[in-house]
Structure 1
Amino acid sequence: MSSKSTSKDVVTPAPSGSGEELDRLYRGYRDRLRRYVAANFGPGPPDPEDVVQIAFEKFAVREDRHAIESPEAFLARSARNYVLDQRRRQKVRSDHAEGEKILGALHDDCDAERVLSAKQRWQILERTIRAMDPRRQQVLIMNRIHGVSYAEIARQLKCSPTLVKMHAAQALVQCERALREAEEET
């Protein structure tokens, strides 16, 4: 929320535990909290107005809310955490749906001919990789199979990142050439 606050922006809490206290806080902070959510996280989802309601619900159920020094900061943090949690959940759902879609497509494409073709391509790649220069082979395996960055490979192998990139590029060209030559033979 804004660090700029004037004396008219300060909401004086009523005695702890009263509905009047919550009403006063809600009227005093609702619009600023909604603007804060919209400015920092966009129009949704989740909807900024819904986020404000959730933040106030979290505040209202706290038995120690009278001990909270800055209700506005608590509400802002609650709102922020709620939005981030919702976005994480949405990402997980989206990733899961995408994975299901990919698996469905793979399942549809897994006829006997495609499986045999994939096995043959894998055997060609495996032979090609085994026949590579050991350094080139190591770079390819570290990067493409284990997901190690070029910079990290360079650090581990005590060489320059440019050399690592060159080895990786040559390894990929070698693999592509082997696959292309095998296709031309059939």
Structure 2
Amino acid sequence: MITLPPEPQDIERDQQPGDRAHFLQVFLSQRSQMEALVNRRVGCRATAADLVQDLFVRFWRRPLVQVEELSTYLLRCAGNIAIDHLRSEGTRVRASEGLMVEPPDSHGSGPQAALEAGNDLRHVEAALRALPERTRQIFLLNRIHGRKYAEIAKAMGLSQSAVEKHMMRALEACKASLREPEPRPPGKAP
């Protein structure tokens, strides 16, 4: 979470007008760098612009922080806001996965089918967590957020072929996780 000074109860601005002008000048000069940094982390230019705008509003509403190098501080805050966004997205995805209704199972129903489906889901989740960050991010942008390969390639500064290769790796890892046999506890016969 980005740590900003607490918002005062009565919003009195005791800063000099020059402080606000300096902040605005530095923020505007760093905006493209902050958006590029956030874009690299979240993989979406529009989201990056929104997050940097939110960062501006947070700073503008609160008393300004006195820091040695404001431009460096802003970049660090932009990186932190990107991380916060990714964490909240991960939480949202996990929550929505928990709310998804399973389609009727044509191979059977009941506790055994539910147990097998739960095991399959855990295997796929573990396989996705084991992927390199970029590959996992590309997979999530495509499969969860519905982005096309060309959109992902443009947003991440990759070729469409590279995005396709990352997706093939991710899908192969998911398939392989479902083919691996369940490890048996020691002493148990098959």
Measured against the shorter chain, the TM-score band is 0.3 to 0.5
Q: Of the two, which has the highest radius of gyration?
A: 1
**RCO higher in 1 or 2 (8 Å CA, sep ≥ 6)?**
2
TM-score by length of structure 1 reads: 0.43
